[in-house]
Every structure is written in structure tokens, then in C-alpha cells.
Amino acid sequence: MQSNPDVIVIGAGVVGCSVGYYLAKRGVQVMLLEKEAMGSGASAHATGFLSLLGAEFSPGPSFEMGIASYNEFDHLAEDLEQLTGIDLLFQRRPSLRLALSDDEANLIQEMMVWQEEKINMHWIDGDEVRKIEPRLSQSVIGGVYENESIQLDSYRLNLALGQGAESLGASLVQREVVGLISDGKRITGVSTISGDVYADTVIIAAGTWSRNFSSFLDFPIPVIPMKGERLQLRFEGDPLEVLISSPKRGHMISRMDGLLSVGSTGGRDYDERELFGGEEFDRKPSQSARLELLQRAIDVFPGLEDAELVEQLAGSRPLSPDTKPIIGPVPGWDGVLIATGHTTKGIHLGPITGRMISEWYLDGKCHCISDVDLFLPDRFSESDLSSFYSASKLVDE
């Protein structure tokens, strides 16, 4: 292993690899430590849909962060493809956020009040929706049309960020981190199953596993695994011209590899025992989710009744008690930063998280987001399971 890097990043999902990539771009010697394979957690089964219309964003800093990270992809996707040769299956298309009930229409229109100040979007009725995509159900009563959204393959993005970081001088080592090393109130390195590694700063970006480091810091890292599942289908017919989502029925996206992604389940779809079963349980696809997702898809697009199921993906998402990311310094400690808790927005928010952490490390403060208080770790005290369960019900995807 490379000895004495400047920064150790624990975790090599999209968030961890984004941190490594943005630090390496600025000349920092980075070591990424991952206990399994790169992208083996939430990043491997994510949809890769970058839309600003979901309920996970709220007015103010949350929406600012979503916009800032979306804008990162103006250059990031092309830079990574040129640097690594990995095809991200990247696409920009208009999107439709559909309402099949008055409740959904009210929810979408209430959010439009503050979203349309920043995004090129407008409401259209059901007939206008079907002019854009005639195969959609007559049950669609309307939706918001967004002039542009992005979708890409999340696992390929993860690989490209990791390989991009390596090409810029970072090292990626498959080692399980079992502890943090401290000198007084400063973290000076990590203990792995094969020895200790020292660094100026440690970044905890281990997704749902980040909470395992709470005891070393005597500080709660309030993030737990929330189960989610999605499907990939093959059907006869032309791809959808727009990227589709709905508050109660999830997404429907024609990918650039010819498959149709349908999903996904979230907190609203499980009882408390199923929702927080743990990472290993979460990786097991369920028949109930498969049937639920297929029925939702057919409700929106009846022609999918004869579609072929190609793959069912399941895994954990790192849920925070308020669904917002946990990013920044750990109170009372030097030499350690947290980047976790992105819930279902890790792919979307990974790049701006990498930029934020690089600014904290190199500049002493984050200046790419005007108000970071919403994301700082010190906003939480101990959180019980009921707070996570309430948060899970707010998750769209």
C-alpha cells in the first residue's frame, strides 16, 4: 500500500470516488480504501437519474446543492469519458413528472412554486402529455414538463470516477477499515485488517457503513440502510422520448443500452422491519417489490404488460434522519470529515460533494455552496429509529 497519503477516503462508491477524484485533480495524494469492490454498495443499483424535481430537494441550500451538482455534469461526463474511455451511457432528455391523481397533481404543483424560479419547466394537462408520448395511460391527468434532465449508468460513473482518480495519482486499495487512529482530538489515520495507514485527514464516505465509525469519534453518524429495488425491462417498441417519473409510481427511463429502467421502491413501500433489515438483507430482491413495480409501470405505460424482465436490482441507500446529506467536519475533532447520508441522491450529489470536501481540505472552508449549515454533521444529536422511519416516507425514489 502507498504509505502516508495526504488524505485517506473510506469508501469507493460514487461519493467516495468523487471525493478522491476532486482531491486528486488538485494535486492531493489520496488513498481510497474499500472493503469490497468499487461501487458494491448503493452506487451499483442506482437509477442514475438526475432530476431536480423530486421531493428530496427543498427550497434554499438543498436545491442550490442539487443545481450545482447537476451543473458539474456539464463537463464532468465528457472529462471522465476522455480520461478513462468508459462510456457512461450518458443522455440529456426532457422529462415529465406525471400525476395520475389529484394528490399527485397538488404535490407537483406546490413544489413548482419554488422550483420554476430556477428551472425551465411548465405544467401541461393529460392530453398534452399524450401528444408527447401517446403510449402513456389515459389515467395521466397532467404533469410538469422539464426541458432537460440527465440519466447515466451509475455503476459506470462510479468506475470512471475511481479510474479517473487513479489516473491523477490516487491509489485504490481493497482493505477493510476497522478503526480510526487518534492523537488527542485529531484523527491521524486508520486501522485496516492488514495494518495501520496514516494521513493528514480521513474522509468517512462509506455510505450506510459510515455509522460504524461513530464509536471512535464519540459522535453519532446517523445513517442507516434503507432498502430499495428497481427493474430493468426489455420491450418491443421505440424508446421513450422523455425521462418519466411520478411521486407515487417512481421512474420509467429508456436507457442508452436499450433497456427500460423501472422503479424504485422506497420507504413508502415497506414496513419498518423490512425497510431497515440491514445491508445483507437489502441485497435480496423480493417478489412483492417485483410485482409492485411492474404494476406501477403498467399503470403509467399499459404497453409494458408484455415486457420481458431482464434484471431485478436490490440494495441499501444511506438514509439520514432528514434525507439530506451529512457533509463536513466532525464537531470537536481535527483531521476528519464526513460525506454520507445522501439517501437516493448519491449519484446526483456525488460530484458536488467531492468539490465541497476538496474545498474544506485545501481552502479551510466550502465556498461552492453559499450556506452549508443544512448539511453539517453537528445538526444531529442521537436519532432513534422512528426519526429514520418518518424520513423514509418522504423519499420519492
| Of residues 108, 111, 85, the one with CA closest to residue 98 | 108
pLDDT at 277 over 70: no
Q: Look at 13 and 385; give whichever has higher pLDDT.
A: 13
pLDDT at 267: 57
pLDDT at 384: 54
Which range is least confidently modeled, 169-173, 355-359, 385-389? 385-389
pLDDT at 270 over 60: no
pLDDT at 273 over 70: no
| Of residues 249, 270, 252, the one with CA closest to residue 261 | 252
Q: Vertex 269, ends 228 and 211: CA angle to 5°?
A: 45
pLDDT tier at 268, thresholds 50, 70, 90: low
pLDDT at 248: 87
pLDDT at 280 over 90: no
pLDDT at 388: 66
pLDDT tier at 93, thresholds 50, 70, 90: very high
pLDDT at 39: 81
Torsion, CA 52, CA 54, CA 59, CA 65, rounded to 10: -50
3-class DSSP string for 346-391: HHHHHHHHHHHHHHHHHHCCCCCCCCCHHHCHHHCCCCCHHHHHHH
Q: Report the distance separating Cα 297 and Cα 152, nearest Å.
A: 20
Q: What is the distance between the terminal CA atoms of the chain, rounded to a whole angstrom?
A: 39
- pLDDT average, residue stretch 112-139: 96
pLDDT at 45 over 90: no
Which range is least confidently modeled, 22-26, 127-131, 158-162, 227-231? 227-231
pLDDT at 279 over 80: no
pLDDT at 223: 92
pLDDT at 92: 96
Q: Report the distance separating Cα 397 and Cα 381, nearest Å.
A: 26
| Of residues 154, 231, 227, the one with CA closest to residue 395 | 227
The whole-chain average pLDDT of the chain stands at: 92
- pLDDT average, residue stretch 246-257: 94
pLDDT at 94 over 70: yes
pLDDT tier at 316, thresholds 50, 70, 90: confident
The pTM of this model reads 0.94
pLDDT at 201: 98
pLDDT at 2 over 60: no
pLDDT at 91: 97
DSSP string covering 61-130, please? HHHHHHHHHHHHHHHHHHHHHHHH------EEEEEEEEESSHHHHHHHHHHHHHHTTTS-EEEEEHHHHH
321-364, pLDDT tens digit by residue?
999 999 999 999 999 999 999 999 999 999 999 999 999 999 99
Which range is least confidently modeled, 50-64, 66-80, 286-300, 378-392? 378-392
208-251, pLDDT tens digit by residue?
999 999 999 999 999 988 888 999 999 989 999 999 999 988 99
pLDDT at 383: 58
pLDDT tier at 55, thresholds 50, 70, 90: confident
Q: What is the grid cell recorded at 297? A: 409501470
